[in-house]
Amino acid sequence: MKDFSKHIILNTASARDALRKLDNLPSLEDRTLFVIDDTNKLLGSITDGDIRRGLLNDKEISDNCTVFMNPGFKRLSESNISLEQINEFRGKDIYLVPVLNGSGEIVQLLDLKKQRSMIPASALIMAGGKGERLKPLTDSVPKPMLKVGNKPIIEYNIDRLASFGITQQYISIKYLGSQIEDYFGDGQAKEISIKYIQEDQPLGTLGALALVKEIKHEHLLVMNSDILTNIDYEDFFKFYIESGADLCVASIPYKVKIPYAVLETNENSILSFKEKPTYTYYSNGGIYFMRSALKEMIPSNSFYNATDLMEELIKEGRKVAHYPLLSYWLDIGRHEDFAKAQEEVKHVKW
């Protein structure tokens, strides 16, 4: 996780100490310190503007920094992340926001200049397949590690999830999985947490979830690693929450144009007809938001697809929703898809 110690100052420090520390921060937008006590509890925030206003009100630069701090600082609660509150902060040009645990300690510092959101969810990326249709490219490289542009396919997904605040990520690996593990390590270089789920046998698109020991959040995003997309995960998450569904799948709309009049019939009678209609169908986009508790429905050490879970939920009368994905999306499963990705990645807005 990101080291935010440069933004921390003890409540025993003076305003002069705070000003020195502020001057060492790289940019004006970053120049905020958070004052903590000896138990690491956050007491307030302080900027050079706070110090300047204090001096104009006859305070001394040698005074304790708590005299200058703002105790009404903006914050987020780790246990109740509000996307609406994050967007409100951004609208008010507040970009550096501490995330506090139940004891009032900073567990994360959210930089809204660099991060799009902070979705309260974990992620499982399925990366264990052999990529048979992409042979011979996958003879010595796992499909998720094939490069599109300047980085592996899976890295686009890891980075995009992280940019939306999904920092607890699991990756299921099997075929040549050590290459993925060696490349990304524990995720520290990307300021996230990555843990690997080793599949000893093929487990389908969701079977590896049964092997995940601990999921931090109530909600889980599951996705295939070979998808190239610039989906807005915040919008997807909001849709999923508002739908009240147990599981929500990103769907890809396909329009089919019929070049003839289509008849609606009943036995030998024509009830109506449509002249050259266009029908929209939705296919599975391989990205799912679901309640983490559904993990208990996944059989251990068994081949199990996300569609199996969807069928079980529907059979039980539980809600399964779909989110029409209008962003860029490409499933890189064939050589022509891989060639297409090499060209289109140059034009996609990430």
DSSP for 103-157, written as a single string: TSBEEEEEETTT-S---SEEEEEEE----GGGTTTTSSS-GGGSEETTEEHHHHH
Q: What is the CB neighbour count within 10 angstroms for residue 215? A: 18
224 found inside a domain: yes
Q: Is the peptide bond before 136 cis (omega within 30 degrees of 0)?
A: yes
Show Cβ contacts of residue 219 under 8 Å, excluding neighbours closer than 6 positions: 120, 121, 122, 237, 240, 241, 289, 290, 291, 292
How much is the pLDDT for 1?
A: 58
Amino acid code (one letter) for 302 = S
Judge if 94 and 240 occupy the same domain: no
Among residues 311, 284, 313, 126, the alpha carbon closest in space to that of 205 is found at 126
Q: Encoding tokens for residue 294?
A: 């559904």
Among residues 311, 313, 323, the alpha carbon closest in space to that of 249 is found at 323
How much is the pLDDT for 57?
A: 93
Show Cβ contacts of residue 151 under 8 Å, excluding neighbours closer than 6 positions: none
Judge if 222 and 324 occupy the same domain: yes
Burial class from Cβ neighbours inside 10 Å (0-12, 13-18, 19+) for residue 344 reads middle
Q: Is 90 helix (H, G, I), strand (E, B) or coil?
A: helix
Q: Give the Cα separation of 78 and 101 in Å (integer).
A: 5
CATH number reported for the structural domain that contains residue 283 in this entry: 3.90.550.10
How many domains does the structure of the chain reveal? Answer: 2
* Model pLDDT for residues 253-303, shown as the tens digit of each residue: 988 898 898 888 888 888 888 888 888 899 999 999 999 999 999 999 899
Token pair 């600082």: residue: 73
Q: Give the Cα separation of 200 and 203 in Å (integer).
A: 9
Q: Is 96 helix (H, G, I), strand (E, B) or coil?
A: strand
**End-of-domain residue from the set 111, 137, 167:** 111
Among residues 95, 92, 123, the alpha carbon closest in space to that of 109 is found at 95
Token pair 């686009």: residue: 156
Judge if 259 and 283 occupy the same domain: yes
116 found inside a domain: no
* Model pLDDT for residues 296-337, shown as the tens digit of each residue: 999 998 999 999 999 999 999 999 999 999 999 999 999 999
How much is the pLDDT for 82?
A: 86
**End-of-domain residue from the set 58, 87, 111:** 111
Judge if 22 and 142 occupy the same domain: no
How much is the pLDDT for 79?
A: 85
77 found inside a domain: yes
Judge if 74 and 150 occupy the same domain: no
Regions of the chain short of the pLDDT cut 70: 1-2, 28-29
CATH number reported for the structural domain that contains residue 22 in this entry: 3.10.580.10
Judge if 94 and 151 occupy the same domain: no
How much is the pLDDT for 98?
A: 93
Judge if 169 and 90 occupy the same domain: no
Judge if 126 and 246 occupy the same domain: yes
329 found inside a domain: yes
Question: How would you classify residue 253: left for phi > 0, otherwise alpha for psi between -120 and 50, otherwise beta?
Answer: beta
How much is the pLDDT for 29?
A: 63
Q: Give the Cα separation of 26 and 39 in Å (integer).
A: 27
Judge if 198 and 90 occupy the same domain: no
Judge if 165 and 241 occupy the same domain: yes
Judge if 265 and 137 occupy the same domain: yes
173 found inside a domain: yes
225 found inside a domain: yes
350 found inside a domain: no
Burial class from Cβ neighbours inside 10 Å (0-12, 13-18, 19+) for residue 114 reads exposed
80 found inside a domain: yes
**End-of-domain residue from the set 111, 131, 147:** 111
Could you list the residue range(s) of the whole structural domain that residue 44 is in? 5-111
Judge if 156 and 86 occupy the same domain: no
Question: How would you classify residue 225: left for phi > 0, otherwise alpha for psi between -120 and 50, otherwise beta?
Answer: alpha
